[in-house]
Amino acid sequence: MFKKVVIFGVGLIGGSFALALRRAGQADHIVGVGRSLVSLERARELGLIDTVATDPAAAVEGADLILLAAPVAQTETILASIAPYLNPQAIVTDAGSTKGDVVAAARKALGARIGQFVPAHPIAGREQHGPEAALADLYEGKKVVITALPENAARDVETVAAAWRACGAIIHRLSPQEHDAVFASVSHLPHVLAFALVDDIAAKPHADTLFQYAASGFRDFTRIAASSPEMWRDITLANRDALLTEVDAYLVQLQAIREMIANSDGPALEQVYASARDARQQWAAAIEAAERKNG
Amino acid sequence: MFKKVVIFGVGLIGGSFALALRRAGQADHIVGVGRSLVSLERARELGLIDTVATDPAAAVEGADLILLAAPVAQTETILASIAPYLNPQAIVTDAGSTKGDVVAAARKALGARIGQFVPAHPIAGREQHGPEAALADLYEGKKVVITALPENAARDVETVAAAWRACGAIIHRLSPQEHDAVFASVSHLPHVLAFALVDDIAAKPHADTLFQYAASGFRDFTRIAASSPEMWRDITLANRDALLTEVDAYLVQLQAIREMIANSDGPALEQVYASARDARQQWAAAIEAAERKNG
């Protein structure tokens, strides 16, 4: 049970954490901090938080758990604003979708107190945003990746894991580097590819004709290209190195397939397509089996 | 009203055409022809066709409408087998998803009778295949692209259009070249990109770890990579030239984005992402408006 939980950014991610933790009986008092007072007041009306705070120093006084759920680019500023006032037993964690940059920002802002920061990434979301979108069961059966630092005490890592488990999540552990490489591959690269395709088509003189014939396959393939440009710009820059590695590998792969097409090499094309189809089907079957188990 | 309709390949596409045409009271007698007698008998049991035929010559005798709904690679063989027996008033059409190669095959097989062949492409489908998957309303509100030839008589093109309209479809017209360029862009390229991504990930030594963290964005993006490798090999080869143009344009686009990432050029990345997001949202809104109108 946490006596005082402080959440920076009470939108979908922070608000859902608040609801889930309270439902599990793990939070006595929850304080919301943020840049928009309107949004914080709304979060209080909705019962996500008990108190609204605008002064980070006062907010973290006596807090035992602090979650950063604001845009990742604010990490260093927020941590620098609370560093001098942190209780030595307080644990700080985050919900950012990149980890290398967050850890670097935390090291700068926290210095010798870096051990109090346990980085994490909940793999959950929905299309709606803001406090109204928060759900007590958003994390039910979802993965949370904890990317513990060498400086973290084992019991602090376990405390963060237990908080997320109380929200219904399943804990995974990776190093920050492993985390960023994995998500560059299965999330950030697909986003770049989908944005690239839609922009490529939109820039053509006969784009209207082209879009007119786009059907359900195009709809699914490009759904992620409807994501926030600002957020994905930040993720792209934050995970630049790992993403470049993935983009370069993909360019090599696509160039090879281009040559198969140019050479009308049917057997080679069929082999690539079949390997992809088989891997996709195995993946979908494993996901469905896991969902049945968790559901 | 057609007296005798002959359908080569009574699976999802041919079978749904048969059901829809009969429901509209436009077909007196429907004959199914194909390579699998089991499948044809099943189509007859299901009420898709009235008669099963194995001899193409006998099948087309007295026919006024002939639809090719077999794999596109069989076009030339089928047309050559029926050419000598075609009634001069008979109209032949097809349902292939590429048109340049189909027209070339038709010209070879039909020679001076090419005017009797009106090429078309219904933009409809579902994941299931075979006669059991056929639906009377598969084409309801869906597009059918007719790619008429200079040799076609206007009344024959109108007859094919009327048949598809009777099935509930909306008629569009493009030249075979326009058709192939459009679908290379909005359908064939996305399939190649999705196959390439999944194969790229599957070939990595730590593929299992990567797939473990793939979530809903990956699921949507790669749904089309679960498509038939044989069918997509054939489409890739059939539409090689138009597809190469699209792959090359995409490689240029992706290389440009790669440089933006390497240079940490946030404004340029945001511009690409925002242009894609806006185009995707406009497209989705237009599609939804059209569906409300047709629904």
- B224 and B167 in a common domain: no
Q: With H, G, I as helix, E, B as strand and everything else as coil, classify residue B132.
A: helix
- A127 and A234 in a common domain: no
- A108 and A64 in a common domain: yes
A280 lies in some domain: no
What is the pLDDT at residue A294?
Answer: 62
Q: Which residues of A touch B253 (CB under 8 A)?
A: 196, 199-200
DSSP class of residue B204 equals S
- B170 and B31 in a common domain: yes
What tens digit of pLDDT does each residue of A128-175 get? 889 999 999 999 999 999 999 999 999 999 999 999 999 999 999 999
What is the pLDDT at residue A295?
Answer: 52
- A190 and A164 in a common domain: no
Domain stop point among A151, A174, A197: A174
| ipTM confidence score | 0.90
Domain stop point among A174, A207, A227: A174
Asked if B185 and A201 come within 8 Å (Cβ–Cβ), the reply is: yes
Q: Nearest CA of chain B to the CA of A86: how many Å?
A: 33
- A135 and A76 in a common domain: yes
- What is the Cα–Cα distance from A59 to B280, expressed in whole angstroms? 41
Which band of pLDDT confidence, cut at 50, 70 and 90, is reported for residue B74?
very high
What tens digit of pLDDT does each residue of B128-186 get? 889 999 999 999 999 999 999 999 999 999 999 999 999 999 999 999 999 999 999 99
Q: Nearest CA of chain B to the CA of A94: how many Å?
A: 19
Tell me the mean pLDDT in the region A46-61: 95
Tell me the mean pLDDT in the region A56-75: 95
What is the pLDDT at residue A177?
Answer: 96
- pLDDT value at B295 more than 60: no
What is the pLDDT at residue A289?
Answer: 84
Domain stop point among A155, A174, A193: A174
DSSP class of residue B214 equals -
- pLDDT value at A292 more than 80: no
B291 lies in some domain: no
- B191 and B254 in a common domain: yes
Range of the domain at B210: 178-263
Which band of pLDDT confidence, cut at 50, 70 and 90, is reported for residue B216?
confident
What tens digit of pLDDT does each residue of B106-139 get? 999 999 999 999 999 999 988 788 999 999 999 9
Q: Which residue blocks in B65-206 are alpha helix, DSSP H? A: 75-82, 100-110, 154-166, 176-183, 189-202
Cross-chain CB nearest to A250 (options B197, B215, B283): B197
A284 lies in some domain: no
Tell me the mean pLDDT in the region B202-220: 93
Contacts across the A-B interface (CB distance below 8 Å): 272
B184 lies in some domain: yes
Q: Nearest CA of chain A to the CA of B221: how many Å?
A: 4
Q: With H, G, I as helix, E, B as strand and everything else as coil, classify residue B92.
A: strand
Residues above pLDDT 90, as percent of chain B: 92
Q: Which residues of A touch B182 (CB under 8 A)?
A: 209-210, 213
Q: Give all strands of the β-sheet with A51-53 in edge-to-edge order.
A: A51-53, A27-33, A2-8, A65-68, A91-94, A117-118
Q: Which residues of B touch A213 (CB under 8 A)?
A: 123, 143, 145, 172, 182-183, 186-187
A84 lies in some domain: yes
What is the pLDDT at residue B175?
Answer: 97
Q: Which residues of A touch B204 (CB under 8 A)?
A: 185
Cross-chain CB nearest to B186 (options A190, A213, A262): A213
- B150 and B196 in a common domain: no
- CATH code, domain carrying B206: 1.10.3660.10
- pLDDT value at B224 more than 60: yes
Q: Which residues of A touch B203 (CB under 8 A)?
A: 275
Q: Which residues of A touch B278 (CB under 8 A)?
A: 202
Asked if B189 and A197 come within 8 Å (Cβ–Cβ), the reply is: yes
- A94 and A238 in a common domain: no
Tell me the mean pLDDT in the region B261-266: 98
A107 lies in some domain: yes
What tens digit of pLDDT does each residue of A220-229 get? 999 999 999 9
- pLDDT value at B270 more than 70: yes
- What is the Cα–Cα distance from A72 to A52, expressed in whole angstroms? 21
What is the pLDDT at residue A291?
Answer: 73
- A182 and A105 in a common domain: no
Which band of pLDDT confidence, cut at 50, 70 and 90, is reported for residue B294?
low
- What is the Cα–Cα distance from A263 to A250, expressed in whole angstroms? 20
- CATH code, domain carrying A92: 3.40.50.720
Q: With H, G, I as helix, E, B as strand and everything else as coil, classify residue A67.
A: strand
- What is the Cα–Cα distance from B71 to B96, expressed in whole angstroms? 8
To which H or E segment does residue A122 belong? strand A120-122
Mean residue pLDDT of chain B comes to 95
Which band of pLDDT confidence, cut at 50, 70 and 90, is reported for residue B90?
very high
- B96 and B166 in a common domain: yes
B271 lies in some domain: no
Asked if A123 and B213 come within 8 Å (Cβ–Cβ), the reply is: yes
Count the residues in chain B. 295
Q: Nearest CA of chain B to the CA of A252: how many Å?
A: 10
A276 lies in some domain: no
What is the pLDDT at residue A290?
Answer: 78
Q: How many domains does chain A have?
A: 2
Neighbouring CB atoms inside 10 A of A97's CB total: 23
Mean residue pLDDT of chain A comes to 95
- What is the Cα–Cα distance from B122 to B197, expressed in whole angstroms? 28
Cross-chain CB nearest to A277 (options B197, B212, B226): B226
What tens digit of pLDDT does each residue of B3-55 get? 999 999 999 999 999 999 999 999 999 999 998 999 999 999 999 999 999 99
CA dihedral for B24, B26, B28, B31, sign (positive or negative): negative
Q: With H, G, I as helix, E, B as strand and everything else as coil, classify residue B66.
A: strand
For B217, name the nearest residue in chain A, comparing CA atoms only: A224
Q: Which residues of A touch B198 (CB under 8 A)?
A: 275-277, 279-280
- pLDDT value at B58 more than 70: yes
What tens digit of pLDDT does each residue of A88-131 get? 999 999 999 999 999 999 999 999 999 999 999 999 988 788 99
CA dihedral for B265, A179, A129, A91, sign (positive or negative): negative
Neighbouring CB atoms inside 10 A of A230's CB total: 14
Tell me the mean pLDDT in the region B87-110: 97
DSSP class of residue B84 equals G
- B157 and B100 in a common domain: yes
DSSP track, B8-75? E--SHHHHHHHHHHHHTT-EEEEEEE-S-HHHHHHHHHTTS-SEEES-HHHHHTT-SEEEE-S-GGGH
CA dihedral for A150, A151, A155, A158, sign (positive or negative): negative
